[in-house]
Amino acid sequence: MQTTNIFSFHGGIHPPENKAQSLTLPLGHPSLPKELILPLSQHIGQSSRPLVNQGEQVLKGQAVAINNGFLSSFLHAPTSGTITAIEERVIAHPSGLSDLCIVIEPDGNDCWTERKPLDDWRRISKTDVLSYLAEMGIVGMGGAGFPTQVKLQGAHKHPLTHFIINAAECEPYITADDMLIREKAEQLVLGIEVLQHLVEADQVIIGIEDNKPQAIAALNNALAQHNNTIQVAVVPTKYPSGGEKQLIQLLTGKEVPSGQHPADIGILCQNVGTCVAVHDSIYLGQPLITRFTTLTGDALKAPQNVEVLLGTPVKHLLDYAQATHKKISRLVMGGPMMGFTLNSIDAPIVKTSNCILAASKKELPAPAPEQACIRCGMCEQACPASLLPQQLLWFSKSQEFEKAEHYNLFDCIECGACSYVCPSSIPLVQYYRHTKSSIREAREAAVKSDLAKQRFEARKARQEAEAAEKEAKRLARQKTSTQKTEGKATETKKATPAAETKTAIPDESKKLKVDIALAKNKLKKLQKQLVEAQENEHVEEINHLQLQVTEQEKTLSLLEQQLEKMATTPAEKSTKAAPAPVNEELKKAKIDVALIGAKLKKAQKQLAESPDDNELKANVRELEKGLAQAQSLLDRLTSSTAAQKADTPQKASSKPTVNDDLKKAKIDLAIAKAAVKKVEKALKKAEELKAPESGTLRQQLQEAQQRADSLEKALSNPQTQSPATEATKSNASTDESAAQKEQIKKQKIASAMAKAAINKLKKRLAAEPDQAESIQQEIAAAEKRQQEADALLAQLTQSQDTM
């Protein structure tokens, strides 16, 4: 066995360990509780989807909930019994809120479902092993509950140099991992072997704090028996050496770059509990249904570690450990440094519950009143992330969020070391949490307000268009009554505004097109980011990005609708917009007349009072002249608008029926396309998990695609026909170009699809090198397809440009 270099990290604290209490008794096995409560959200990511209904009988180990998307997990019945409810129950969460839970009433038989160990895990493809682990509901058991298969997939991005098993357990009071290693060292080693087989790291290191001599001995013993290359690195006891980033620094001397993940520097961390769970699932076929949990605290008469079924209510465990309920002043799930308080003893144990600390008032007294920060810098000396906590406090208090971010607030791991040492009893971590969430909220609000602004502007444009349309119709109606009287007089005048509007409309549509292109670009970018975030496990970002993507999609479809409207009714539009400038002038002229009239009246009155005033007389004369001019202008304008109205209906009436059909067809097409997309997505997911449904899904996809294709054809037909029904040349040309555009779009889609296919194949190639040849052929074919599509696309765009 090699020895590894141990490095050091900045700061850290040495709180009283309080680990002896829970290690005096051997591992306990509590009896079956009256009911088991399984929250659907025990892990990071989307909550699972229940597979069972109320009243159903389930066997031990039977899956009761399936993963819901990429970042999610399975759930299994911890014992056999009846599903009594699927309802909101209090869960173990810092918020103290309720969440949807599957409630199982045990029948007491503890009857297993059929267990299928994965004996040939060395031979079958790694993807299959990963999907098996996903089906077994394995998540990280150290704290966050990150779905293990996702983490392992992420580890493939870079060649792994280090695979670190976190057995540091630096939090005071907790001894669950210590006990787990003592009890199951062999299983742990076998589990690590499975994981190492999956990730193939250069070095496998178990990091463990030097305050667990028995566990270290058990580990060395197990490793000696298995003659393994796994190293044990004993690190000095210092909180928070068990933090992922800190342990990596301790064992490798490397730092995980800010905002990145250990996988980005070729390191993977797994908790010991996870490794044992992997062993149990692969070798025994047992899904994750139990875990080791420490029951400790002064309020318990028999503090100890227990192997407990998931879903066991905390109350049951407290009774098992002979709790004096009156003595419990604070009930913490997790350790005293990073755990959270429970406000109900009915909350259940979940996959990540490593400790229940039932503390008496004396043990964890209420915090002392906060005093002023004297900037003593003790927090700074303790901070494992080398932050300046006192400055961050200052910025948090004064809500200078930009400065707080500049001082790397988001690199805070909330370990609590600063609060622990603060002589002024300032709850620093709480300030940081609040500031972080405020900043996140502000970011989200900024995105939302941007979108709202875009929506508002689009709505305004739409409303204006509608108003203009209405106005045009109104004028058309009015015109029919006055048509005969003043028909010919103003034919010459009408020509100019019409020309103006013709240029205005293409301008607008051009602008819209640019907008659409921009929106599409943004959407693509966002989608890319989303995929990246999912791959990189940025849980916070995923929801945020999802929101943005959907919003962007909405705006895009809105814009496209608008463009469609404009493209299909250019003629209508041109007449619609025409009267607007004339109307303006008309209004102005009317106002002028009224104004001058009023002035004239006033002057005349004055003149009547003092008839000898020459100045007034001159004034009146001038005003009369002005009035006459204004009146003549008004007359001219009214006659011209009236003449214009005469022309509108002929153009307006021609298209609507064709347009309606077209619209309908387009909508149908959009629906079909959406269906295709949906099925494609489902297929992708199924493929990822190697689920059996993938065959049927593929069929569905083909059907949906056919439907979409036929619709598209149908759509292109009326489009080519419609110009024939309308005699005007301009319309014909625009529709022709629209058809061409449609074709271009189609080619673009084809090219994009080919590209996607290539990418997918390449991925598969990386995952399954044994099928390399056939896949490579497929890739070549797809590339050819793409090239063809690209060539055609280029041709089309060229011809469009020349038009």
Binders of other proteins among residues 90 to 119 (CB under 8 A) are 94, 96
User: Can residue 362 be called a binding residue for other proteins (CB under 8 A)?
Assistant: no
User: Can residue 399 be called a binding residue for other proteins (CB under 8 A)?
Assistant: no
Q: Which is nearer to other proteins, 218 or 299 (CB)?
A: 299
Q: Which range binds other proteins by CB under 8 A, 33-41, 197-205, 405-413, 542-550?
A: 405-413
User: Can residue 567 be called a binding residue for other proteins (CB under 8 A)?
Assistant: no
Asked whether residue 379 is marked as a ligand-binding residue, the answer is: yes
Q: Which range binds other proteins by CB under 8 A, 39-47, 284-292, 327-335, 788-796?
A: 327-335
User: Can residue 374 be called a binding residue for other proteins (CB under 8 A)?
Assistant: yes
Q: Which range binds other proteins by CB under 8 A, 114-122, 157-165, 426-434, 754-762?
A: 426-434
Near other proteins by CB under 8 A: residue from 8, 57, 425, 799: 425
Q: Least distance from C-beta 250 to other proteins, angstroms? A: 12
Near other proteins by CB under 8 A: residue from 209, 244, 280, 380: 380
Asked whether residue 170 is marked as a ligand-binding residue, the answer is: no
User: Can residue 529 be called a binding residue for other proteins (CB under 8 A)?
Assistant: no
Q: Least distance from C-beta 243 to other proteins, angstroms? A: 10
Q: Least distance from C-beta 418 to other proteins, angstroms? A: 9
d(CA 622, CA 635) in angstroms, rounded, equals: 20
User: Can residue 789 be called a binding residue for other proteins (CB under 8 A)?
Assistant: no
5, with CB counted inside 10 A (0-12, 13-18, 19+), is exposed
Amino acid found at 209:
E
Region for residue 363 given its phi and psi (left: phi exceeds 0; alpha: psi -120 to 50; beta: otherwise): alpha
Q: Which is nearer to other proteins, 102 or 417 (CB)?
A: 417
Near other proteins by CB under 8 A: residue from 213, 236, 367, 695: 367
Q: Which range binds other proteins by CB under 8 A, 178-186, 333-341, 601-609, 645-653?
A: 333-341
User: Can residue 80 be called a binding residue for other proteins (CB under 8 A)?
Assistant: no
Nearest of 265, 47, 207 to residue 137 by alpha carbon: 47
Helix (H, G, I), strand (E, B) or coil at 380: helix
Binders of other proteins among residues 593 to 622 (CB under 8 A) are none
d(CA 400, CA 402) in angstroms, rounded, equals: 6
Q: How far is CA 503 from CA 499, 568, 569, 733, 741, in A?
A: 7, 16, 14, 15, 20
Asked whether residue 412 is marked as a ligand-binding residue, the answer is: yes
Q: How far is CA 15 from CA 303, 337, 655, in A?
A: 20, 9, 81
Query: Is the bond preceding 656 in cis, omega lying within 30 degrees of 0?
Result: no
Near other proteins by CB under 8 A: residue from 31, 214, 229, 430: 430
Contact 19, 211 (CB under 8 A): yes
Any long-range contacts for 605-611 (C-beta under 8 Å, 24+ apart)? none
Region for residue 204 given its phi and psi (left: phi exceeds 0; alpha: psi -120 to 50; beta: otherwise): beta
d(CA 408, CA 401) in angstroms, rounded, equals: 11
Helix (H), strand (E) at residue 694: helix 694-725
Q: Least distance from C-beta 77 to other proteins, angstroms? A: 30
User: Can residue 371 be called a binding residue for other proteins (CB under 8 A)?
Assistant: yes
State both tokens at 62. Answer: 């039977």
By DSSP bridging, strand 63-66 and strand 49-50 are antiparallel
Binders of other proteins among residues 228 to 267 (CB under 8 A) are 245, 249, 255-260
Q: Which is nearer to other proteins, 295 or 704 (CB)?
A: 295
Near other proteins by CB under 8 A: residue from 338, 475, 738, 779: 338
Q: Which range binds other proteins by CB under 8 A, 202-210, 273-281, 410-418, 442-450?
A: 410-418
Asked whether residue 422 is marked as a ligand-binding residue, the answer is: yes
Q: How far is CA 351 from CA 35, 76, 239, 291, 614, in A?
A: 17, 11, 23, 7, 102
Near other proteins by CB under 8 A: residue from 57, 109, 386, 557: 386
Q: Which residues pair with 330 in a beta bridge?
A: 359
Near other proteins by CB under 8 A: residue from 433, 588, 684, 764: 433
User: Can residue 405 be called a binding residue for other proteins (CB under 8 A)?
Assistant: yes
Neighbours of 17 (CB within 10 A): 17
Q: Which residues are annotated as a binding site for [4Fe-4S] cluster?
A: 373, 376, 379, 383, 412, 415, 418, 422
